[in-house]
Amino acid sequence: MGEERRITISVIKADIGSLAGHHKVHPDTMAAASRILAEAKSKGVIIDYYVTHVGDDLELIMTHRKGIDSPEIHGLAWEAFKKATEVAKELGLYAAGQDLLSDAFSGNVRGLGPGVAEMEFVERKSEPIIVFMADKTEPGAFNLPLFKVFADPFTTAGLVIDPRLHGGFKFEILDVFEGKYVVMSAPEEMYDILALIGTPARYVIKRIYRKSDNEIAAVVSSERLNLIAGRYVGKDDPVAIVRAQSGFPAVGEILEAFAFPHLVAGWMRGSHFGPLMPVGLKDAKCTRFDGPPRIVALGFNVSKGRLIGPADLFDDPAFDETRRLAQTIAEYIRRHGPFMPHRLGPEEMEYTTLPEVLEKLKDRFVEAKEYEKRIKPKLRHSALLSGEPHE
């Protein structure tokens, strides 16, 4: 259990431009990012890496021994995104460089646009992990499934029957508006946890720890691009890392939570609710109304820091019914067009055209009492019948 066995997994992602609108990442941009990571691997900066994509998001999965928030690792990711952006610009891809909000990298990609999920732990004898990557949604999309995985015994049987899980888990919840954390304990504070995370636009599960020994179990990226940039620059499509087996929920228990295609915010222009559809990598591309929102799950075994795998976990007929239901829901909710609850509520529309529309109409809004006086009929019906004189 020496220090040398501590390993860090960093999943850093960005939308640096995509093919045919917001559809999917171009393979040449992935190749450009891969070259940078291959070079870093050969120099021993990282131990291993896997480059992939979900929809229009370029995903870098890296292992190393430099801990979380390492300037070297963040700098490496930044360089990979920069190189990929150069290719995206050269190819004329859509929204090239979209998520790189600043030209000045200063040691950490947080706040500069990319999304980050990182965890550090001592590798177990066998260390299965799942990396979840979603497109066309927001970090709060993980609230419901992660609650089910780590606090709902109807999803995770182990919470009841496995003594190592029976003590429950701690949830670190981030208020993304206030920038504050609260740590809460399940099952004791389950209802209070739900009172918060039921508002996924504001309260986001950031990390989950096993209570018995404080071991890290899950981490979610929590960047919200619209809050970072102060204007709408695309939804901050989230990633998460979850550890599985031997004291953590089984892989199947973790995946079970995604068999229900719950409604998440995102989809077209980041402004619509839609079902989160679990898909294999071959279907990790957005089409209908730039969606529906999709999620991919890649399973790895981390062995001496190497990423063994991946297993494309949602690429399985067992999720066909989930996908079918997702499409039925997509069809239903799409019929609402620009109406809520398909379109997000006004508080979420702050960075779209809504404030401009309100500003334009400002002088045309009249106090209700005043307005009603104006439209009062000049001729009363009773007067007309009685033949009273009138104007």
The catalytic residues are 15, 232, 235
- Which tokens hold the place of 252? 């199947």
Q: Report how far residue 346's alpha carbon sits from residue 40's, in angstroms, rounded to the nearest whole number.
A: 45
Minimal CB distance residue for Mg ion = 237
Q: Which stretch binds Mg ion (CB under 5 A): 77-85, 135-143, 156-164, 360-368?
A: 135-143
Q: Which is nearer to Mg ion, 33 or 46 (CB)?
A: 33
In the complex, the smallest distance separating the C-beta of residue 158 from Mg ion, rounded to whole angstroms, is 33
Strand 169-175 to 180-186 pairing:
antiparallel
Residues 6+ apart with CB under 8 A from 99: 14, 15, 16, 81, 113, 114, 225, 233, 234
In the complex, the smallest distance separating the C-beta of residue 9 from Mg ion, rounded to whole angstroms, is 21
Q: Which is nearer to Mg ion, 57 or 253 (CB)?
A: 57
Q: Which stretch binds Mg ion (CB under 5 A): 8-16, 246-254, 329-337, 377-385?
A: 8-16
Contact 248, 165 (CB under 8 A): yes
DSSP for 290-347 reads TBS-EEEEEEEEEETTEEEEEEETT-SGGGHHHHHHHHHHHHHHHTTTTSTTTBPPGG
Window 27 to 66, contacts with Mg ion (CB under 5 A): 56-57
Q: Which stretch binds Mg ion (CB under 5 A): 113-121, 130-138, 342-350, 354-362?
A: 130-138
Question: By rule CB under 5 A, what count of residues binds Mg ion?
Answer: 5
Q: Which is nearer to Mg ion, 287 or 301 (CB)?
A: 287
Window 205 to 244, contacts with Mg ion (CB under 5 A): 237
* Interface with Mg ion, residue 290, by CB under 5 A: no
Q: What is the DSSP letter of 124?
A: P
Q: Report how far residue 279's alpha carbon sits from residue 270's, in angstroms, rounded to the nearest whole number.
A: 20
In the complex, the smallest distance separating the C-beta of residue 76 from Mg ion, rounded to whole angstroms, is 21
In the complex, the smallest distance separating the C-beta of residue 338 from Mg ion, rounded to whole angstroms, is 22
The residue within the footprint of Mg ion, chosen from 7, 10, 13, 15 (CB under 5 A), is: 15
Residue found by looking up tokens 């992660």 in the block: 146
Q: Which is nearer to Mg ion, 136 or 323 (CB)?
A: 136
Q: Which is nearer to Mg ion, 114 or 305 (CB)?
A: 114
- Which tokens hold the place of 267? 């989809």
- Which tokens hold the place of 321? 């019914």
Q: What is the DSSP letter of 123?
A: P
Contacting residues toward Mg ion, per CB under 5 A: 15, 56-57, 135, 237
